[in-house]
Structure 1
Amino acid sequence: MTRPPEILAIDGGGTRCRVACEHNGQRFHFESGSCNVTSDLDGSIEQIMRGLKGLARLLHIDLEMFKDTPCYLGLAGVTGPEKAQDVARRLPLTHVRIEEDRAPAARGALGRQNGALIHCGTGSFQAVQHNGRARFAGGWGARLGDEASAQWVGRLALSDTLLVHDGLKQPSDLSQELLTHFESTTGIVAFAAAANAADFGHLAPRVTKAAAKADPIAQEIMRQGAERLTFALTHLGWTTGMPIMLTGGIAPSFAPYFSADMQAALTPANGTPIDGAISLAHDFRKEITG
């Protein structure tokens, strides 16, 4: 490659950072580690730079060739313009647009069509897009929100297990399984004191499997999650007939608990967050050149 790529796009999330570019109709990808610019700004910059350097090696060009390429970044932890500017100042790029990571996820899943997105992975958020404008809810992190996320499901399962121990809730196979796994309520409390969102999220498959077997505690958790998601979507403007895309590992597990009209609206996502970041990078390039 003798010329720099036309655009750069970066999707940085709590699990990994995806870096991509397009040149002459070809797309190139490189993946690095966890990226959240609020919880670990230095580490996030390191992972972004690792991704850019890896992409440059893949293209057999010097990193400096990226300098004037329009770059769109959708990053976890971007809480506003000041945080975006903090990131921009530390990158060797002239033309950057930095937003939170919900925007590329919505563009990737929905494209430019009217519709709704429910994302439930380790974290969660919802979006409804109408006439090219998206409204968002959620995505505020494990301490303040992320209802119906994998960590939320795992945390509720442990909380309910402690209620069972106290005699305030009827026991179930799930509560017994968790008590056995952690050996005691002391084990549960010790785990929770040191656990991060991903640790709680690793418990979610136990809940979804139990719910599929009609475990009452597990089904109640999944039902509560579906109710939270339904409430958010309807208040964001979703109406019957608008397609709904589900993304994230646990999101499809809530489908049986949605109303019939929501189940009928479920549609496969158009693309991924990095697809959305690439699309938004092209929009950014047009603004610069146009």
Structure 2
Amino acid sequence: MTESLHTRVIAIDGGGTRCRLALWTGRDVVSVETGSANVSTDFDGGVRQIIEGVGTLAAKVGESVDAFSTLPAFVGLAGVTGPEIADRLRQALPFAHLRIEDDRPAALRGALGDRDGVIAHCGTGSFFGSRIAGAMRFSGGWGPVLGDEASAQWIGRAALKVTLRAVDGRLKPSGLSQMLLDRFGGAAGIVRFGGTARPSEFGALAPHVTEHAAAGDALGCRIMGDAASDIAQSLPAIGWVPGMTICLTGGIGPHFEPYLPAAMQADVSASVGEPLAGALSLAKDFAMEAAR
């Protein structure tokens, strides 16, 4: 690879809500955004979003997709569960020099930068990660059926569950449960929605939960507290100890801070950057390795 190949790099960060692509020109960053790109739940759809984004990014800087294909690229995507799906992606994407990982390393690198610490990344899905003495460690991220605790889709599902329990008389109704009953036309409407809804559609309900919880709604607080309990149990398992930085990332992550134990609240710190910034850092690392 020539010098020009490792001064310009492409980074792609994709998840259940959106896919972001960036070009580092050697001086600045040019970025674009497309739709959902989880290659486990919808491989072909995720690839389409990436291809569309590459074309948009190339057009934005006045270049061809063919010119981009020679640049080192780092791709971090939700749903990359192992070598098999990574190999499928490698064949489907228009890059000659490509490193593919799941979306966790980019989020961890973006949030912590060069610091040691842990993250609870809670977007449409969720996972937990740590960086200690330079070593990364991850847990969770097992998807909407078997995992993704404290994610937006988990919160949305939980809101519908507690609403149905309130209908049964097992829980006391609240403003949140009444709002959801009104929104879906009663319990039958909730059941119909739940039978076909995608994770992103469940996740779209999460802002209603955070808003009601912040106003003191009992069911909203119950849901947020249960999710925060999962976070509090998960972070020590990947190395967190009191005094170590905690970053709450993703669209819903920061909303959990007041529901965490006091010792954890004391260690919550702002993220250095977003996952796309982490993906760019990893793309630059990849380019330097490839140039050696």
TM-score range, shorter chain: over 0.9
After superposition, the Cα gap between the structure-2 partners of 1:24 and 1:250, relative to the gap in structure 1 and judged at 3 Å, is closer
Match of 2:247 in 1: 245
Instruction: Tell me the secondary structure at the aligned position of residue 242 of structure 2.
Output: coil
Name the CA shift for 1:31/1:176 in 2 (closer, same or farther; >3 Å). closer
Q: Match of 2:29?
A: 27
Task: Report the CA distance between 1:31 and its aligned residue.
Answer: 2.0
Matched with 1:57 is 59
> 2 CA distance for matches of 1:238 and 1:3?
38
The reply to whether residue 233 of structure 1 matches residue 235 of structure 2 is yes
Give ranges in structure 1 of 5+ residues lacking alignment.
none
Give CA-to-partner distance per residue, 1:65-113, whole Å, 9 cap, x none: 2233211100111111111111111222211000001111111111121
What SS does the corresponding residue of 1:156 show, helix, strand or coil? helix
Q: Given the two structures, how large is their TM-score scaled by the length of structure 1?
A: 0.94
1:32 deviation in Å? 2.2
Root-mean-square deviation (CA, aligned residues, Å) is: 1.7
- 2-structure distance, mates of 1:140, 1:169: 29
* Match among 60, 80, 85 for residue 78 of structure 1: 80
Classify 1:80/1:3 alpha carbon distance in 2 versus 1 (closer, same or farther; 3 Å).
closer
TM alignment of 1:209-228, pairs within 5 A: 209-228=211-230
2:153 aligns to what?
151
Q: CA deviation at 1:273?
A: 0.8
Aligned residue number for residue 169 of structure 1: 171
Tell me, yes or no, if the aligned pair for 2:13 and 2:103 is still in contact at 8 Å: yes
Identity among equivalent positions (%) equals 47
Distance 1:5 1:33 in 2: 28
* Alpha-carbon shift at residue 163 of structure 1 (Å): 1.4
Whether 2:279 is the aligned partner of 1:277: answer yes
Relative to structure 1, the CA distance from residue 122 to residue 92 in structure 2 (aligned partners, 3 Å threshold; closer, same or farther) is: closer
Task: Give the 3 Å change call, closer, same or farther, for CA 15–172 of structure 1 in structure 2.
Answer: closer
Q: Which amino acid aligns with 2:11?
A: A
Give the whole-Å Cα distance in 2 for the aligned partners of 1:50 and 1:181. Answer: 34
Report the CA distance between 1:4 and its aligned residue: 8.9
- Aligned-partner residue type, residue 265 of structure 1: D
Relative distance call for 1:149 and 1:24 in structure 2 (3 A) is: closer
SS at match of 1:56: helix
